[in-house]
Structure 1
């Protein structure tokens, strides 16, 4: 992970260009109707002509494939599907490598934010940020610039230096998804169904999690998983 100057941050972003582009259309992905409505209003305030909506990752991928919006704004957590927003970001970037994606979440864990960036999102903003911050983030991402709140940018930049002391930083995106679902009390078969994996893959991944996190029992893993699940709910 590169240092903080890679990211534009609230209050530290490059000054907007006189010719800063506005997205011609936008896809907003969230499973809460009130949140969708609020972000639609903000997008329209920013002068965006067409705003598409989706409430789950399947609908979002289909909407992206059909409309090819200039920018995608997506939540990370969808009901009981853990961090499925990460897989949506990866799938969109696989379909369109130049896709410009802004991720939203209520949590601020730099490990998760780093995963968001690794999956291909260009920016990240917390849901409880002021509307002006969302509009700043949207403008930055629309114009191909990275965006992170300043405090989170610093924490993400420091992850590499402290990776040995933060074993969660060494987990893959899939392992993070499984960990969150374990924390939500999901059994192996349900996790397999949610993530479209076979049962044995989930069992093996759980064993790998115990090894990477250096825990001796499933009970210890559940404690870590519950804490992580609370951070992303």
Structure 2
């Protein structure tokens, strides 16, 4: 049995974007459109409604790329769901992480509406989708012997790195991610080892130098 191809869940924490998506999806013939602005509400909505397709942003407020965990949880719950990741992040390591988590396709937020609809049509029909340039960069990343530094980071480490880049202190990071201060210290220590940074200043420089 296939999931209903006319039902969709749209997940984004910006009301204007949700409104725009709803209009596009109505024009595309989607009969049932669910919306969520948080990871928790999105998973609850999916669990109750089981839509055939999900469009999910990767970044929610100060939680970095927490949308990756949502994609993975949805995929674990329902293998047949078609998931289109929608994000401002164009780093091939993040794109690859989204696909590994279970996204069927990936489109950038600054893409024109025509490309978004093309991605939507591909994913809705069960086909994967990546913009040609993004697909090439992901392929080069996978083929390269020297992997992107981001590809070695865990989801939580990536979230912390994003917050470091924004200039947040250890205490603020712990507060935003609902973590203990010592846990943040340990995570940052691990990021330093993986990135080759020897100080917090070098780690900041690392976070600013890479595409993220």
TM-score w.r.t. the length of structure 2 is: 0.90
Q: Which moved more, 1:109-118 or 1:148-157?
A: 109-118
Cα 1:165/1:92, change in 2 over 3 Å: closer
Q: Which residue of 28, 34, 37 corresponds with 1:46?
A: 28
**Displacement after TM superposition at 1:218 (Å):** 0.7
Describe the superposition over 1:154-194 as per-residue Cα deviations: whole angstroms up to 9, x where unpaired. 00011123352632222222221221122223333443454
Q: Which residue of 91, 108, 133 corresponds with 1:126?
A: 108
Describe the superposition over 1:114-152 as per-residue Cα deviations: whole angstroms up to 9, x where unpaired. 111111111001122121211111121122211000000
Cα separation, 2, equivalents of 1:99 and 1:198 = 35
Does 1:149 find its partner at 2:149? no
Is the 8 Å Cα contact of residues 141 and 147 (structure 2) preserved in structure 1? no
Cα 1:227/1:74, change in 2 over 3 Å: farther
Partner of 1:212: 194
Q: Which residue of 88, 97, 103 corresponds with 1:115?
A: 97
Q: How many residues align?
A: 210
Does 1:140 find its partner at 2:122? yes
Partner of 1:201: 183
Long gaps (5+) in structure 2: none
Higher relative contact order (CA 8 A, sep 6+): 1
Question: After the TM superposition, which residues 24-63 of structure 1 pair with which residues of structure 2 at under 5 Å, given as runs?
Answer: 24-63=6-45
Is the 8 Å Cα contact of residues 22 and 142 (structure 1) preserved in structure 2? no
TM-score w.r.t. the length of structure 1 is: 0.82
Long gaps (5+) in structure 1: 1-20
Partner of 1:77: 59
Partner of 1:105: 87
Give the RMSD, CA atoms, in angstroms. Answer: 2.1
